[in-house]
Structure 1
Amino acid sequence: ALTGLSFWMFCSSTECKGEEKVTQPPGDVILTQGQTATLKCTFSTTSSDPYLFWYKQEVNSYPKFILTRSRYSADNSPEFVKDRFDAELKDSSVPLKIQDLHVSDSAVYYCALSRSNYLPTSRTGDVY
């Protein structure tokens, strides 16, 4: 089973004032192999073309880039193919959908926001 255990958030001084923000709902989730997980992430920004990122961090490892979405682009890491890992950028959310869950999908997932396609300025993570 994949179980949600904790919720936490990092923020820069700018985004802590409310200009740039990403949030994920706290709480536990229990899923089994083969099911589909939808990891929610909502955001607010003053940018007209924000870039949203998803990362996966396994225990004792570094965060791995999964995908990025913007108004005009959609890119996935070759390791995370679109038929299993996908996200649709909407007005204020970018939920990550993981299909055909594997036990190896258990990890910390970060949702991140940037005003450009460079480093994120805001990010949240939930353990799934």
Structure 2
Amino acid sequence: DCMNLLTWLFSHYINKTEGESVTLSCSYDSKSENVRLYWYRQYPNGDPQYLLREGARSNSAKHSSDPRFQSSTSRILTELIISSVSVSDTALYYCALRVEPQ
């Protein structure tokens, strides 16, 4: 099975002091009720790492392995909130949208 994913690269630099929070935003447009939004992180010369996912049209569970990563999603925007940032959070961040079958 092939997953239909639309992926965006978070493509600008943000400078933060360690311990602060940062919010990354990604806008989207989909008429589907079955939208899932994903966030990934990629270090130089590494593979993308899954961070979390959230349903866009429901209060579906957010699945994250790190409690510092939270998501806030509306009908047109998804945000990744990273609390207590550290040097190890320096990376490329991607958001992806998947429209799941009915």
- Report which structure shows greater RCO (CA 8 Å, sep ≥6): 2
Q: Does 2:100 match 1:116?
A: yes
Change (3 A) 1:37 1:100: same
TM-score where L is the length of structure 2: 0.80
1:72-98 C-alpha deviation (Å, 9 max, x unpaired): 3123232x22xx100011121110000
Question: Residues 9 and 94 of structure 2 are in contact (CA less than 8 Å); yes or no, is this contact kept in structure 1?
Answer: no
- Looking at structure 2, the residues matched to 23 and 65 of structure 1 have their Cα atoms a distance apart, in angstroms, of 14
1:44-81: CA deviation from partner (whole Å, max 9, x where unpaired): 11311200000011112111110000023123232x22
Matched, 1:56 2:63: no
Identity, in percent, stands at: 31
Note the residue ranges of structure 1 that are not aligned, 5 or more in a row.
Answer: 1-19, 118-128
Unaligned residue ranges in structure 2 (runs of 5+): none
Kept after mapping to 1: 8 A contact 2:39/2:51 = yes
Residue 95 of structure 1 aligns to a residue whose secondary structure is: strand
Q: Distance in 1 between matches of 2:24 and 2:64?
A: 18
- The number of residues matched between the two structures is 96
**Alignment match, 1:43:** 28
Write out the 4+ residue segments of structure 1 that deviate beyond 4 Å after TM superposition.
20-26
TM-score w.r.t. the length of structure 1 is: 0.65
1:1-128 equivalence runs, <5 A: 27-70=12-55, 71-78=58-65, 80-81=66-67, 84-116=68-100
Distance 2:94 2:6 in 1: 13
